Chains A and B, each alone.
Chain A
Amino acid sequence: MNTDRPPPSIPPVTEADLHAFVDGRLPAERQVEIAAYLAARPEDAQRLEAYRAQKRELHALFDPVLDEQPPQRLLKSARPRAVPQTPWYLQRLAAGIAIAVISGATGWGLRGGLPAGGDDAGRMAAAAPAERGLTLVSAGGFAQRAAVAHAVYSPDTRRPVEVDAAHEDQLVAWLSKRMGAPMKPPHLQAQGYTLEGGRLLPGGQGPVAQFMYRNELGSKLTLYVSNDVADVGSAAGPGAATKPGAKNTDTAFRFAREGTVNVFYWVDGPFGYALSSDADRSVLAQVSAEVYRQLGAPR
């Protein structure tokens, strides 16, 4: 194509000229010259027509995006007030690492039954040998995952939940379908907590549902529900009341502490539940009892 000798009257036509012709980037005079050049070269003309068709098809395919209503999160990010000190995903990551480091360094407490004393469990675990701490961490996948999920999502002001409470029916239908079992969030207004919404997360073996609540003061509480018995069963590590392999009929509450997050968790039939919050464990114990009453009561 470029090796063809152009008519002496016009400057040589380059490949760049041909693209500029397609893109309408040439002066009018040059545009006419190229058109004349192409008239004698049908193969090039056909090629350039294909390039024009590409432009039309790209616009047809992607221009509708221009008319879409952008997601709220993008509109917020476009406004100056939304600028975080560090990107939000790094904040999330940092929170997750902090939790992992804290739990790796100190281990975490496991206690059978409802609480009888303050934060002894956490302190005792902190004082335990490193080997024991690591064992406990590996045994406590379920409660730890619940605590990390709480630490990651509850501080998120932009997207704390995936489906909000205004669409609770949609949330219930979606999570029930994905979990393969009815998933209905308990109502905790009497305890001062209002449902914010929920999301689906990966658990140890499969999907896990997370419901998020907040109280008037902005304190968050998350309920983490797994229907994988093996997943929860492994949480009943040393120090827990349940024997490995035992049927999950033991509904004793267990307590764990991950950094600043308190976790109550229990197994009830095919479900494992973990309730996480920064709130005092006495508050958490009350709410756990209510959740248990609503969701896990013997039928």
Chain B
Amino acid sequence: MQDDASLLSWVPRLRRYSRALVNNRDDADDLVQDTLERAWAKSSLWGEVADMRAWLFSIMHNLHVDGVRRPRLHTVTMDDDTPEVPVAPTQGDRLAVMDLQAALDLMPAEQKQVLLLVALEDMAYADVAQALGIPIGTVMSRLSRGRERLRSLMEGREGRAEPARLKVVK
């Protein structure tokens, strides 16, 4: 059984994953809020939940995939919680950052989810399979395709040619 403090303790990690998945601060926090509220609505099940992290991420994943996004008037947040100006990176950092974010946006959702859970959340493959409700073999194939897709996007964007990959068609 979880107490309220332990659900609070998940907020930073849920936000990190959501931000990488959605790439828009307000939408990402909306997704976290929906996830938390869904988790509380199902709090009677907590006693049976073996792995709270996998469970919470599965809720978030389902909300994200089902497109259960709340209908709302689009407003831009302006309050104390949201500094208007993010920390300004150096010029070099900015280029790299934009590349990665842009590349993530171009990735298929199912590959991105697996990649982020493994590479960012450091989740074990079996936990990823549980969180996403897919067989572990599917996790591995999506991970493989996702990593390769991200690599080609990043390298293509940065204009790094790979002569070794060019082959003469016979």
Interfacial residues, chain A to chain B (CB-CB below 8 A): 15-16, 19-20, 23, 25, 43, 47, 50-51, 54-55, 57-59, 61-75, 77-80, 82-84, 87-90, 92-93, 152, 162-164, 167, 170, 174, 199-202
Q: In the complex, which residues of chain A have a beta carbon less than 8 angstroms from the beta carbon of B119?
A: 23, 51, 54-55, 58
Q: How far is the CB of A18 from chain B (nearest CB, A)?
A: 8
Q: In the complex, which residues of chain A have a beta carbon less than 8 angstroms from the beta carbon of B73?
A: 152, 201-202
A89 touches B7 (CB 8 A): no
Q: List 28 A-B contacts (CB under 8 A).
A: A15-B140, A16-B140, A19-B140, A47-B151, A50-B151, A51-B147, A54-B154, A61-B20, A62-B19, A65-B16, A66-B15, A67-B12, A69-B81, A71-B29, A77-B32, A77-B37, A78-B8, A84-B37, A87-B37, A87-B38, A88-B37, A89-B70, A90-B70, A163-B78, A170-B78, A174-B78, A200-B75, A202-B73
Main DSSP-derived SS at the B contact region: helix
Query: With the chains together, A68 CA to B16 CA distance in Å?
Result: 10
Tell me whether B168 is interfacial, beta carbon within 8 Å: no
Q: How far is the CB of A200 from chain B (nearest CB, A)?
A: 6
Main DSSP-derived SS at the A contact region: helix
Q: How far is the CB of B62 from chain A (nearest CB, A)?
A: 14
Q: How far is the CB of A170 from chain B (nearest CB, A)?
A: 8
A162 touches B78 (CB 8 A): yes
Q: How far is the CB of A86 from chain B (nearest CB, A)?
A: 9
Query: With the chains together, A162 CA to B147 CA distance in Å?
Result: 40
Interfacial residues, chain B to chain A (CB-CB below 8 A): 4, 7-8, 10-13, 15-16, 19-20, 29, 32-34, 36-38, 40-41, 43, 70-82, 87, 96-97, 100-101, 115-116, 118-120, 122, 124-125, 140, 143-144, 147-148, 150-151, 154-155, 164
Q: In the complex, which residues of chain A have a beta carbon less than 8 angstroms from the beta carbon of B75?
A: 162, 199-201
A57 touches B125 (CB 8 A): no
Q: In the complex, which residues of chain B have a beta carbon less than 8 angstroms from the beta carbon of A16?
A: 140, 144
A71 touches B19 (CB 8 A): no
Query: With the chains together, A78 CA to B15 CA distance in Å?
Result: 12
Q: Which of these, B20, B37, B79, B144, contacts A58 with CB under 8 Å?
A: B20
Q: In the complex, which residues of chain B have a beta carbon less than 8 angstroms from the beta carbon of A64?
A: 87
Top 5 closest pairs, chain A to chain B, by CB: A89-B70, A71-B81, A77-B36, A83-B40, A65-B16
Q: How far is the CB of B49 from chain A (nearest CB, A)?
A: 16
